Amino acid sequence: MAYIAHKDDILIIEGSASHYKRNPAGIFFSLICLSNAPGCGILGDYTSEHSWFSGYEWSIALCLGCLSHLGWHFIGKGSFYGLIVNRIIGI
């Protein structure tokens, strides 16, 4: 198991640290927002298409240990990670 992030990095975005979002394919995700996730790498270009957070673009966030998709990194009025709760442990 790889270290992903620390609970002290939980961040309030749009009024909450946790969000329940649906992607265009109809898949729902429970997310936790974090200011930092040293165990994540970012894959691909940023896009604003279908962004869940107004004013932010996103890119895919992967585990640096196993390259599993853990969530997304958002940039805009700052930056943060939105990680899929059931894919991370012990936040």
The model carries a pTM of 0.94
- The 10 Å Cβ neighbour count of residue 16 is 11
SS3 of residue 85 by DSSP: helix
pLDDT at 91 over 70: no
User: What is the domain partition of the chain in residue ranges?
Assistant: 7-87
Model confidence pLDDT, tens digit, residues 23-76: 999 999 999 999 999 999 999 999 999 999 999 999 999 999 999 999 999 999
Q: Can you spell out the DSSP letters for 3-50? A: ----GGGB--BTTBSEEEEE-TTS-EEEEEEES--TTEEEEEEEE-TT
- Least Cα distance to 47 among 13, 72, 11, 17 occurs for 72
Distances (CA, A) of 55 to 14, 47, 78, 90: 11, 11, 10, 30
Kindly state which CATH superfamily the domain 7-87 is placed in. Answer: Peptide methionine sulfoxide reductase. (2.170.150.20)
